[in-house]
Amino acid sequence: MTFQRARSQEQIEQRREDIIRATVDLYEEIGLEKLNFSVISKKTGLTRPTIYNYFNTKEEILMQVIVQDFRSWTEELIGQFKLNKIYEIEEIADIWVASIANYPRFMELYSILFTILERNCSIEILAQFKRDLLAQHSPLLNLMTQLIPEAETEDINGFLLLQLTGAMGLFPMSFASEDQLQAIKLSETGYQIPDFKKFYRLTIYQLLFCLKNKIS
């Protein structure tokens, strides 16, 4: 296949999306450690210098995956709620947990966002990433304002921060690798892997209870 330079903005965006899609497939197949521009080049048929025209590091690509997954999750979550219906906090918690559980890659990547991904990208890319994530905040804020109208905006913002923090902290603990499972067995400590849905629902319920009852 003859290589063609992307010239139009549409072609540029399509090439960026091709790189992101290939990176997602490779991440699912071989994991973060084996992921690099060489395997991305083979997957896409693009040269490494060409990929560098769009992204400086694999971490920058994965940050775009986070943005896309976050947007998809936000849209799905909002779509689960009916307008003008009054929901009990138990119902909200159930819907919330079931929705985010459909996005394990998002939680997995977000759990290493601040310690690995953000530390391996340019300042300009990081700034745009922050803006892209913030764009998803307003729809969630509007959703929570409808679900719990008595809550203050500041408290809703706190809920949105804590629910995400809880998910990303609990997720890595809940899905152990084979080596980790073997180590747990050899340790003879009786440690039990936490059930993500069970404990995350408890977290969401407690946060919603405090939000609804204005407990700070």
Domain boundary among 55, 73, 94: 55
10 lies in the same domain as 92: no
**Domain count along the chain:** 2
Domain boundary among 22, 38, 55: 55
11 lies in the same domain as 88: no
- Two tokens at 64? 């775009």
CATH number of the domain within which 83 lies? 1.10.357.10
CA dihedral 140, 142, 147, 149 (to 10 degrees): 140
Domain boundary among 55, 84, 99: 55
User: Vertex 91, ends 94 and 172: CA angle to 5°?
Assistant: 20
129 lies in the same domain as 46: no
135 lies in the same domain as 39: no
CA atoms within 13 A on the CB side of 78: 17
150 lies in the same domain as 46: no
How many Cβ atoms sit within 10 Å of the Cβ of residue 126? 17
CATH number of the domain within which 43 lies? 1.10.10.60
202 lies in the same domain as 174: yes
160 lies in the same domain as 144: yes
**pLDDT, tens only, 91-108:** 999 999 999 999 999 999
Burial class (CB in 10 A: 0-12, 13-18, 19+), 111: middle
Burial profile 138-165: b = 16 or more Cβ within 10 angstroms, e = fewer = eebeebbeebbeebeeebbebbbebbee
Domain span holding position 29: 1-55
50 lies in the same domain as 61: no
> What is the residue-wise DSSP string for 81-122?
SPTT----HHHHHHHHHHHHTT-HHHHHHHTTIIIIIGGGS-
37 lies in the same domain as 116: no
* DSSP secondary structure letter of residue 52: H
- For residue 51, the one-letter residue type is I
117 lies in the same domain as 165: yes
Per the prediction, the chain carries an average pLDDT of 94
pLDDT at 83: 85
**pLDDT, tens only, 189-213:** 999 999 999 999 999 999 999 999 9
Q: Give every CB contact of residue 116 below 8 A, 6+ residues apart in sequence.
A: 59
pTM assigned to the model: 0.92
189 lies in the same domain as 89: yes
Cα Rg of the chain (Å, integer): 20
**pLDDT, tens only, 136-147:** 999 999 999 999
**pLDDT, tens only, 108-150:** 999 999 999 999 999 999 999 999 999 999 999 999 999 999 9
